[in-house]
Structure 1
Amino acid sequence: MTGLFVTIDGPGGVGKSTVTAAVVDELRAIGLPVYGTREPSDTALGQLARNGTEDYRGMAMACLIAADRYQHLDGEIRPAVARGDIVVCDRYIASSLVLQVIDGVSRDVVWELNRHADMPDLAVILNARADVVEKRLTGRGAHSRYERMPDSSERECALFRETARFLMAAGVRVAQFDATADGPDSIARGIVAAIKNRE
């Protein structure tokens, strides 16, 4: 079996990590080889990016995230795809095209920094009404300065919609799911169906 590379992105508070874990569980349950991972990665470089959102901003953060992505591709993603796994990655280029743009870097620059990165076989974008995302985010607490910015949910939801269109125009296969009312298990089943159609 040829491996696949699937990414799952969306605004903070939309339920992305819960859905990602559910997708991994669903794939394993039906006997498919799956490798779950995330960005920033769990390497030292990834941890620097993950824990450095207060210290690094703008172009410095964009370069740090891109550097972690290239290392992640070399060390984990490409080897897993090569051995036939379905790689499911919690955050990827779509998140850079949103968060680094919010951080003041132009989309063209972010795209250029990532142009040598592998495009996913399927890029999943989760979104929801901004007020619903804001309520969930308030309930769980902000994880980074991006999520503490005024109107962060409104901006992220809008930018993820724009990013979905941008990636489709660039030839990336994008599947969009609305998490306003649908729960993570239902969305995960929809994503698994899209993955199986891609095999």
Structure 2
Amino acid sequence: MSGKFVTIDGPGGVGKSTVAEAVVELLRTEGRPVFGTREPSDSPIGQLARRGTEEYRGMAMACLIAADRYRHVEHEVRPALARGEIVVCDRYIASSLVLQVLDGVTRDVVWELNRQADMPDLAVIINARADEITKRLDQRGPHSRYEREPGGTERECAAYYEAARFLMAVGVPVVQLDASTTGAQDVARAVVAAIKEPWMRGR
């Protein structure tokens, strides 16, 4: 159960970050060594990407995100895995295959930019009905231009299903969870259960 790389992705407003935090806490409660992290990372280049969504678009943003990813993997993910920890990362390649593609970069180009990064042992993709996500976004307010664009939620939801199919086709283990009527804690418990699946032990 040690040294596993788990990523959690999903449309803005689906509750992904809340689930990622809950997964980390559940694993810690069980006494498992766990390292919670996120992308864009908290490094200077990650902060540039995180704060620059209004200024950087298309290929510029895709390259910023990829550069941050390679640094993040080298300086945070791999050392944590080497210590035998379960790495839980809030956003990873699936988000690039969605957001950068919706931003006008082709999927092939996005994949070429990112395919040398370490692939997760388990990619969790949380999705939900677009109308439910829209309600949540209306309550908390949009966090980025991706969430403000008319019809953006519908496109994001559909794109995450496509990203899941793509990742499975290239050999990445993917678990898809629906959060339309399920709370964050229940989704987090489902993620932890997936991490404990016997097939994960050999990865």
Q: Give the structure-2-normalised TM-score.
A: 0.97
- Equivalent residues in 2 for 1:141-156 (5 A)? 141-156=141-156
Residue 25 of structure 1 corresponds to which residue in structure 2? 25
Aligned residue type for 1:24: V
How far does residue 2 in structure 1 lie from its aligned partner after superposition?
3.8
The equivalent of 1:86 in structure 2 is 86
SS of corresponding position for 1:42: coil
Q: Does 2:43 align with 1:9?
A: no
- The 8 Å contact of residues 2 and 82 in structure 1, kept in 2 or not, is answered as no
SS at match of 1:81: helix
1:53 corresponds in structure 2 to: 53
Aligned-residue Cα RMSD (Å) equals 0.7
Whole-Å separation in 1 of the counterparts to 2:97 and 2:54: 19
Contact 1:3 1:87 in 2 (8 A): yes
For 1:140 and 1:6, how far apart are their aligned partners in 2?
Answer: 27
SS at match of 1:182: coil
- Name the residue aligned to 2:121: 121
| Structure 1 residue 138 displacement after superposition | 1.4
% identity of equivalent residues: 72
Distance 2:139 2:102 in 1: 23
2:187 aligned partner, one-letter code: I
Report if aligned partners of 2:6, 2:120 keep a CA contact under 8 Å in 1.
Answer: yes
The structure 1 segments of at least 4 consecutive aligned residues displaced by more than 6 Å after TM superposition are none
The structural deviation recorded for 1:191 is 0.5
Say which SS state the counterpart of residue 41 (structure 1) adopts: coil
Helix, strand or coil for the counterpart of 1:71?
A: helix
Q: SS where residue 176 of structure 1 aligns?
A: strand
Matched residue, 1:70:
70
Name the SS for the 2:196 alignment partner.
Answer: helix
User: Cα distance, 1:46 vs. partner?
Assistant: 0.3
CA shift at 1:196, angstroms?
Answer: 1.2
* Residue identity in the other structure for 1:90: D
Instruction: Compute the displacement of 1:104 (Å).
Output: 0.2
- TM-score, scaled to structure 1: 0.99
State the match for 2:175 in structure 1.
175
Is contact 1:61-1:100 (8 Å) kept? yes
Give the conservation status (yes or no) of the 8 Å contact 1:49–1:61.
yes
How far does residue 168 in structure 1 lie from its aligned partner after superposition?
A: 0.5
**Counterpart contact for 2:2–2:33, Cα < 8 Å:** no
Residue aligning to 1:111: 111
| Alpha-carbon offset, residue 167 of structure 1 | 0.5
CA distance in 1, matches of 2:71, 2:49: 13
* Distance (whole Å) between structure 2 residues aligned to residue 134 and residue 112 of structure 1: 32
Q: Distance in 2 between matches of 1:11 and 1:137?
A: 11
Count of aligned pairs? 199
**TM-aligned CA deviation for residue 115 of structure 1:** 1.1
Distance 2:150 2:109 in 1: 24
